[in-house]
Amino acid sequence: MKKIILTLCLLCSNAFAMNITAQSWLETDYHGNLIEGSNITEVRSIASITKLMTVIAVLDNEPNMQEKIGKYTREQLIQLALVKSDNDAAKVLCDNFPGGKFKCIKYMNEKAHSLGMLRTKFVEPTGLSPMNISTALDLLSLVFEASNYPEIVKASQTPVLSIQVGKKTFRFNNTNPIVGKRHNFIVSKTGTTNAAGGCIVMMLDTDVGRRIVILLGSKDGKVRIPEAEFIALYT
């Protein structure tokens, strides 16, 4: 009987064990209290997590959301940048910022500084540059700020984005494939480049309360979400 119990315990422990490949990560409760983390102040490339700040910069300017820029409205470009993580959409948004790209990047950095993100720097709006850098701890402030923007929350809860252009309807899957399948997301943004590895930031509701997870530098884009979900549920 003791052998059976021991075997079951080992099976259970293996089921809830995961090798976290992320080089930097943290989990907090809704109040920002740290639950667990690793290398939370390590400066790393952040890939498309950048687009959260790009969109915040645009929204803070209170633009005409229905203005058409090319074939999309500004509102559609924002959703494309967040849901599909579309680089061209992020570029167009920043290029059409008052004063152009230079002013857009300047505002992004000023906003980061105002949020206390002192180890964060942006050089372009997409995250393709490895010089877009931050820390897991800094990005915690970005996630809390992002949760105040209805447009970002909407994108974070959209599993498939549908955009009609003329008579055609285009559909784009969320880069976080578990959106709409499980958990209530308030903020979700993924990123992956060779320099950054797999990245994701998310604020979500779990059975034990609202959790914020920041994960940077996972082995690749395939493991970032299972790792982040494991951290949110089992650490």
Q: What is the DSSP string of 47-78?
A: GGGHHHHHHHHHHHT---TT-EETTEEHHHHH
Q: Which residues pair with 201 in a beta bridge?
A: 189, 214
Q: What amino acid occupies position 133?
A: I
Active site residues: 48, 51, 85
Give the span between the Cα atoms of 202 and 84, in whole angstroms: 16
Residues ≥6 apart with Cβ < 8 Å to 72: 80, 89, 92, 163, 165
Helix, strand or coil, per DSSP, at residue 83: helix
Q: Which of 195, 202, 193 is nearest to 228 (CA)?
A: 202
Helix, strand or coil, per DSSP, at residue 149: coil
